[in-house]
Structure 1
Amino acid sequence: MGDKKSPTRPKRQSKPSSDDGYWDCSVCTFRNSAEAFKCMMCDVRKGTSTRRL
């Protein structure tokens, strides 16, 4: 029996699609600074869904 090597796994990232310090607007996709509570381009609040009921 030879040495069993564990498969290499990529390192997990806490936020895979966004950089620290920024958030992407869910409506216009503009990248805003983390301090902004609403989008600088379209004035939509951070975390607002695009779904209409």
Structure 2
Amino acid sequence: MGDKKSPTRPKRQAKQTADDGYWDCSVCTFKNTAEAFKCSICDVRKGTSTR
């Protein structure tokens, strides 16, 4: 079996954004303010999945 080591994988890091206080619409990708509960452009609710 020898001295083989398993390959090291880079650790996943939390997505850091310089745009704290904003969220991107999952439909039209508009950058909305954190206070907005729906997109200012297309009226999709915050956190709506596109699946």
Unpaired runs of 5+ residues, structure 1, are: 1-11
RMSD of the TM alignment (CA)? 1.8
Deviation at 1:20, TM superposition (A): 0.8
TM-score by length of 1: 0.64
Map of 1:37 onto structure 2: 37
What residue ranges of structure 2 are gaps of 5+ in the alignment?
1-12
Q: Percent identity?
A: 77
TM-score normalised by the chain length of structure 2 = 0.66
